[in-house]
Amino acid sequence: MVSTLIEQIVNGIVTGSVYAIVAVGMTMIFGVLRAINFAHGEYYMLGTFGAWFAIDYLGLSYEASIVVGILSTIVIAYVVGQLVMRRMVGAPAESGVLATLGIALVLQNTVILVFGGGYKFFSGGYIEPVSILGFSLAEQRVLILVVCLLVFIGLELMVTHSRMGKAMRAVSQNVECCEVVGIDVPQVVLRTFILGAALAALSGVLTAPVNVSVYGGMGELITFKTLPIIIMGGLGNVRGTFFAAMILGIAESLVATYVGLQYRDTVGFATLILMLMWRPHGLFSTQARF
């Protein structure tokens, strides 16, 4: 019983790591734009499809497919950012919701139109098991954990010490003052948006070998999984997002094991409802952005 519990907690941490990499991009975008990107999960899907295409059609290795998946997503995110996201600076929140929902529909249906709506087998990744402290984990799951830690350490260093990070923090605090002192706010929004999309794509290509299959609608569920995370973590709070993702990942793993696998996806939605009723500003401070 104890070993099963510990094993499920470890699995939950791995799942939480996936959610954290995706959600931190969404929460950074909210921090500078004050709008929730409802198309965020589609960049997770695009990264996965980019890697799948590189392996199945181009014959590249999994390592190379990771680069292809992320770069292709960055290109698409750049186009979307230039055409849409830069124009959202100072726009009403309703405009951001409608715009990102429209983008999500366009991206999802374009992929379904090009590649079909069926499930595709993802053949890449590291599936060999390794033993850590008596527990067996696939190498891919260990890689996800390591990358998640590196991502958050890198983000912490970036927002603290780099010019881009300082600009992101400034825009998240006061857009008008940034414009007065000469900071190019639309450019900061664009770069933050591209960074968030790239992180979502990274999460997608890392998770694909664990999920085994990819399909056009996979980004939609990820979007709705990240919503309770960024709300629980405090909108715009990067550190809170990390801990909220771990809490949700562990909760899903325990519910799937001890209650039933069919109830796993309800945990996020139930958490969202409870958070909106009980503590709508989140478990962590919304003032601690970045």
Highest mean pLDDT among 28-32, 251-255, 261-265: 251-255
Strands (E), the chain: 120-121, 129-132, 135-138, 213-214
pLDDT in tens, 126-165: 888 787 767 778 889 899 999 999 999 999 899 888 888 8
Residue 290 has pLDDT above 60, yes or no: no
CB neighbours of 16 closer than 8 A, spacing ≥ 6?
Answer: 245, 246, 247, 248, 249, 250
The per-residue pLDDT for 261 is 80
Identity at 98, one-letter amino acid code: L
Cα separation, 201 vs 49, in Å, equals 9
The per-residue pLDDT for 110 is 94
- CATH class for the region spanning 2-278: mainly alpha
Cα separation, 290 vs 288, in Å, equals 6
Cβ distance 275 to 282 under 8 Å?
Answer: yes
Longest Cα separation, the chain: 61
pLDDT in tens, 13-62: 999 999 999 999 998 888 888 888 899 999 999 999 999 999 999 999 99
pLDDT in tens, 81-104: 999 988 887 777 788 888 999 999
| Average pLDDT of the segment spanning 118-128 | 88
Model confidence at 288, pLDDT cuts 50, 70, 90, reads: low
Model confidence at 78, pLDDT cuts 50, 70, 90, reads: very high
Q: Which residue in this structure is represented by tokens 């909210």?
A: 30
Q: What phi, psi does 212 have (nearest 5°)?
A: 75, -40
The per-residue pLDDT for 23 is 92
pLDDT in tens, 214-252: 999 899 889 988 888 888 888 778 888 899 999 999 998
